[in-house]
Amino acid sequence: MSAVIDVVGVPAEGLEALAPAERGLVDAARVLVGSPRLLDLVPVREGQERRSWPSPMLPGLESFLAQVGSDGVVVLATGDPLVSGVGTTLLRVLGAGSVRVHPAVSSVALAHARMGWPSEVTSVVSLVSRPVYAVRPRLAPGARLVVLSAGSKTPVELARVLVEFGLGDARLTVLGHLGTTEESRFDCAAAELAAGKVPGPDGIPTLNVVAVEVPATAALWGTTPGLPDDAFAHDGQITKREIRAFALAALRPMPGQRLWDLGAGSGSVSVEWCLAADRAAAVAVERDAARAARVGENAAAYGVPVTVETGSSMDVVDELPTPDAVFIGGGASADLIDAAWSRLPVGGRLVVHCVTLDTEAVVVAAHGRHGGELRRVSVERAEPLGRMLSWQPARPIVQWSVTKAASMPATAEDQNAGAS
């Protein structure tokens, strides 16, 4: 069996709380890797090499690992290395067969215990390397969140975002140095922390976890497809909420999958795709620079992973990462549909919306080649007509949706070609 890297989670109480087997691994390590803080906890042993992580870590990680090797290498981590820890990164880079993880009690488990919250009724959000707006998809009336902080500034930034969302009365508990003799707790409303109320003369500890309890009466939009149009910044170029929900129903977001949003406009479809499934991501392509910037702003406001490409869809489509679904909401052409289809893997979904007769003809022809479903939908809204209300229809939308199969059925055009 080839050598593996052992990742040892160090309990909050320190090295003395390690089980004998894990302490033996640390003592016998040829190379000990970790942050300076963790390395300082271990007595110096003759012949044992110590290495701190490269900074910045990710760009230099592969060359660093090549230098240290794997035989006799022990990595020190805090708590559970698989809870927003280095264990997750090493598994992604090296694979499960090259890493062995020895977890200690995580800060998440300790936070649940201190708050008296069962894990099945809470959501965990890591802000260690993500923007604070990443909490937004988890906010709901009565929700309980355990938020992993990036440092002492995170709780205040989180409180300000909650106030921005109208949740100033949300209850926050800042738990510092969990599991140690320096453990602390500070309870307040989000509005109080946002306004400058901090615990004691020393302020908020660098190592902290924030427990958030959203009021049961909170008024929030949620994450169901079809958010109000004014939930997004836009210049009028936006897929309207009913049509957006119609598109998402055909695109069928799934956890960890990637969407191409070609001709993204405001990026509302990209954002709602990401909100609809855990770990979903999107690539939004928009030729107009101002609108492309607005897509980025909307994605940031919802804390979702949308990569924005500025330019023509045809110019970049061959360079984009492989999609699981493709949405063409504007500017569909036969060439663009063919290019997207060629990149789409088996099981991928392609959805095209159009409003003009010219584009409709392109879509009908594509339906003839690839199958799928054609639908036409019209939305009418009640608007004032003098002193009365009257129905005002919007332009009808033609939707073509198709799932790429391993072997597509022959089209009538193919059959005619075979007969000749």
Which residues are within 8 A (CB) of 293 and not within 5 positions of it... i.e. 6 or more apart? 308
Q: How many other β-carbons are positioned within 10 Å of the β-carbon of residue 7?
A: 27
Q: Is the distance from CB of 291 to CB of 356 less than 8 angstroms?
A: no
In sequence order, the β-bridge partners of residue 376 are 398
In the chain, CATH 3.30.950.10 covers: 108-213
- In the chain, ranges of CATH 3.40.50.150 domains: 229-417
Low-confidence ranges of the chain (pLDDT < 50): 1, 409-420
Q: If you classify domain 5-105 with CATH, what class do you get?
A: alpha beta
Task: Give residue 1's pLDDT.
Answer: 45
Q: Are 198 and 31 in contact (CB under 8 A)?
A: no
Q: Which fold has domain 108-213?
A: 3.30.950
Going from the C-alpha of 12 to that of each of 7, 9, 17, 103, 396, the distances in angstroms are 16, 9, 8, 12, 60
Q: pLDDT at position 55, please?
A: 86
Topology classification of domain 229-417? Rossmann fold (3.40.50)
Q: What pLDDT was estimated at residue 419?
A: 45
| Neighbouring C-beta atoms of residue 180, cutoff 10 Å | 14
Give the Cα separation of 349 and 36 in Å (integer). Answer: 48
Instruction: Tell me what pLDDT residue 413 has.
Output: 47
Q: What is the per-residue pLDDT for 408?
A: 52
Q: Please name every residue paired with 377 in a beta bridge, in sequence order, or none if there are none.
A: 397
Q: Taking Cα atoms as reference points, which of 398, 328, 388, 336 lies closest to residue 364?
A: 398
Per the CB < 8 A criterion, the answer to whether 137 and 275 are in contact is: yes
